[in-house]
Amino acid sequence: MSTPTPTAKSPSNSDCPDANSGAIVLVLDAPAAKDNEPAPDPSSLPKNFRTMTDAWHRTGNGNPPSRQGLEKLNASGSAQYCKGQLQAMLSSKRVSLPLTIVDLRQESHGFFILDQPVQGESTIAVGWFAERDWMSIGKGLVSVLADEDARLGSATKNAKLTVNEIKSVNSEGGVCKLKPYPVVTAGWLSERQLARKADLGYIRFPTTDHVRPRDEEVDRFVGFDTSLGRGTWLHFHCRGGDGRTTTFLAMHDMIHNAPAVKVDDILIRQYLLGGVDLYAPPSNSTNYQYPFAVEREEFIRNFYDYVRAAKPGGFKLRWTEWVTNRFTSGEEQ
């Protein structure tokens, strides 16, 4: 498989010289920074890192939400990390062992081991990026893993490999500006392999960016979360540490703290801890993210109701069964 490279087209907006809605671009996920941001420290914590016991990262309107149950969640979230940032997280004492990485990315990604470091890091995180981060939309776990292994293996055989740092995106979530880094690789690792080298657990729930989780992944996640070993710490991440990470952290919070904690408190506190506001779709209804954000909010509220129904029975009732029962009983009509 040849390594895709961005192909510039004549953009209507001169501020987006690398715009090409059809391109699949090999990108630097970490350490990386947006335009006008300083270069990140590869030995610092990952971008958007937070734990459930942090002080509020933001201030909210009105009375603060309940913190009931947060100290027992043993969870954190962040954007994608490079090897140095993972090591910094483990050394920070803000997480504990045993720890399992919960990878929420559907798009193909992994790590390149470099002969010469990029921005101070010799094991960089890379991924393949298409407009809206939808290069793998519709693919399940088996297809995602097969594509990922093929891309990583092929790329590292390319003697003239370029990894591109995304500096900005356009209104459709496509590449706007890129900063290229020619690299020479000495090998590659999947995220599962990197986790195992660090003696960490790893599980993946491939979820499309900006979109609510698919029903089969919800079933898998509930089965995983409700069978965790005592004291296991979960670290959730997606590419940016925003939508997918916040959604799954809220689901984790609900599984362990509903119905004692109200749904509004759970969603607000996940926002105040550093996630996105799942209550707030884009203000412009023509934004491509708008309908998906509305659907995601509806999903997360329904998931709370599902937890209330399934928890007394030890979650023997699956999410997909609960949804089917709602429709067949006429509750959705």
CATH code (residue 169):
3.90.190.10
Minimum mean pLDDT range among 4-8, 17-21, 39-43, 149-153 = 4-8
Once rounded to an integer, what is the mean pLDDT over residues 320-324? 97
Per-residue pLDDT of 223-254, as tens digits, reads: 999 999 989 999 999 999 999 999 999 999 99
Per-residue pLDDT of 29-55, as tens digits, reads: 999 987 778 877 889 999 999 999 999
Task: Give a yes or no: residue 11 inside a domain.
Answer: no
Task: Give a yes or no: residue 14 inside a domain.
Answer: no
Task: Give a yes or no: residue 9 inside a domain.
Answer: no
Cβ neighbors of 302 (< 8 A, separation 6 or more) are 323
Once rounded to an integer, what is the mean pLDDT over residues 154-182? 95
pLDDT of residue 332: 58
Task: Give a yes or no: residue 13 inside a domain.
Answer: no
pLDDT of residue 256: 98
Minimum mean pLDDT range among 50-64, 66-80, 247-261, 268-282 = 50-64
Number of folded domains that form the chain? 1
Task: Give a yes or no: residue 291 inside a domain.
Answer: yes
Query: Mapping DSSP to helix (H, G, I), strand (E, B) and coil, where does residue 17 land?
Result: coil
pLDDT of residue 310: 98
d(CA 164, CA 129): 10
For the cut 90, the answer to whether the pLDDT of residue 18 exceeds it is: no
Give me the percent of the chain exceeding a pLDDT of 70: 94
Task: Give a yes or no: residue 20 inside a domain.
Answer: no
One-letter-per-residue 3-state SS of 70-99: HHHCCEEEECCCCHHHHHHHHHCCCCCCCE
Once rounded to an integer, what is the mean pLDDT over residues 155-169? 95
Q: Could you tell me the pLDDT band of residue 1, with boundaries at 50, 70 and 90?
A: very low
Cβ neighbors of 186 (< 8 A, separation 6 or more) are 113, 114, 115
For the cut 90, the answer to whether the pLDDT of residue 20 exceeds it is: no
Residue of higher predicted confidence among 36 and 309? 309
User: pTM here?
Assistant: 0.93
One-letter identity of residue 18: D
Structural domain span for residue 288 = 25-325
Q: Which of 51, 49, 43, 50 is nearest to 83 (CA)?
A: 43
pLDDT of residue 33: 86
Task: Give a yes or no: residue 132 inside a domain.
Answer: yes
Q: Could you tell me the pLDDT band of residue 75, with boundaries at 50, 70 and 90?
A: very high
